[in-house]
Chains A and B, each alone.
Chain A
Amino acid sequence: MCDRARGRDIAIACFYFDFAAGKEQTPGSMLGALLKQVVGGLDKIPEEITQEFVEQKKVIGGRSLRLDQIVKLLVVVTSLKPTFICVDAVDECAVRDRIKILISLGEIIQKSPTTRVFLTGRPHIRGEAETRLPGGVVAISVSPWKDDIIHFIRKRLEEDPSPDEMDERLESEIVKKIPETVSDM
């Protein structure tokens, strides 16, 4: 998807949730990271953001933006060009934070019509996403795809550091057997 977006006048912002990242992945830092990526792709930083920066710097020690301010600025910058927001492993975000993030993303797509949100996660978050995101959620089930597995195995075999130990018979057996085993899982 990202490959096909290259060279077009669109913005892509991504985020990967991770259980191991723990408390550093807050709704503010996560949505701020999305904002940073969209703004980073613009020729000039919008005035609304530089003004906020100057204001927050006046406070002793400096201050970060509040969640509602970040969402407001995301609406501003995502309205400048078609924007794709991709969030991986939404289920790895703590449930309380997840609700805030889904509501925030819902507000963005509500107010910025050329923005698309792409989420991945385990099946149990489907209900939550459908409740919080306006206009419905296009849901699609992902399972190991046989062609993808074959592509992956062939690529790894090409990169085999000991090719002399591989013969044609063994290679074709690997390419045949592994996808069958994965499909049976």
Chain B
Amino acid sequence: MSQDHNLFITASKDSSSPARASSFNNNTNSFNNTINNVSNHFTVPEDRSEILAWLSPLEPRIRHQNLEAGRVDKVGDWLLQTEQFRNWLGGNSRDEPQNAAMLCHGNPGAGKTYIW
């Protein structure tokens, strides 16, 4: 970028002749391309983690992993066998949403958090 920038400064000192004006335009385009490249830089894979962090500062996956570590295998399996669960899983196939949301409700300590 610094080289393009120097060319831009040189051209801007004297752009009176047609040749110099053409050189000035070319260098301006080059400068603009450089700016665009800087903008496009944000779409490359190295910025993936920066973009993800920008979407939200919260990390619910950490809480999930902690709960998963303390969860006993097969707890909550009963839910998967219920008709309500199967209706929810197979719902919402038409144009209008149908049974696309499920609510497991219960008092504190009932085990809701460990179902999934």
Residues of A within 8 A of B (CB): 1-2, 4, 14-16, 24-25, 28-33, 35-37, 39-40, 45, 47, 49-50, 53-54, 56-57, 62, 64-65, 70, 86, 88-89, 105-106, 109-110, 113-123, 125-126, 129, 133-145, 147-148, 151-152, 155
Contact = CB atoms under 8 A, between A and B. Distances in A.
A2 B116 contact: yes
B111 A16 contact: no
B55, B78, B102: residue with the most chain A Cβ atoms closer than 10 Å: B55
Contacts of A141: 104-106
Contact of A140 (B42, B59, B103, B116): B103
Given A117-B102, A121-B105, A50 B116 contact: no
Given A116-B92, A116-B102, A126-B105, A16 B115 contact: no
B73 A151 contact: yes
A89 B116 CA distance: 12
A140 B84 contact: yes
A16 B57 contact: no
Given A113-B97, A138-B88, A119 B102 contact: yes
Contacts of A40: 52
Interface string B21-65: 000000000000000000100110001100110111111110110
Contact of A1 (B57, B67, B76, B112): B76
B58 A113 contact: no
A125 B54 CA distance: 31
The 10 residue pairs across chains A and B that have the minimum distance between CB atoms: A32-B56, A135-B97, A142-B106, A120-B112, A33-B56, A1-B116, A36-B55, A109-B100, A33-B58, A133-B101
B89 interface: yes
Nearest to B56: A32
A117 B101 CA distance: 5
B84 to A, nearest CB: 5
A50 B106 CA distance: 41
A140 B99 CA distance: 13
A30 B80 CA distance: 27
A83 to B, nearest CB: 11
B44 to A, nearest CB: 9
A16 B63 contact: yes
B96 interface: yes
Contacts of B63: 16
Max chain A CB contacts within 10 Å: which of B39, B64, B103?
A: B103
Contacts of B61: 14, 37
Given A120-B105, A121-B105, A122-B105, A54 B116 contact: no
Given A33-B59, A138-B87, 18 more contacts: A1-B79, A4-B80, A16-B113, A29-B56, A39-B55, A40-B52, A49-B51, A56-B54, A109-B100, A117-B102, A118-B101, A118-B116, A122-B105, A135-B96, A140-B104, A142-B79, A145-B78, A148-B111
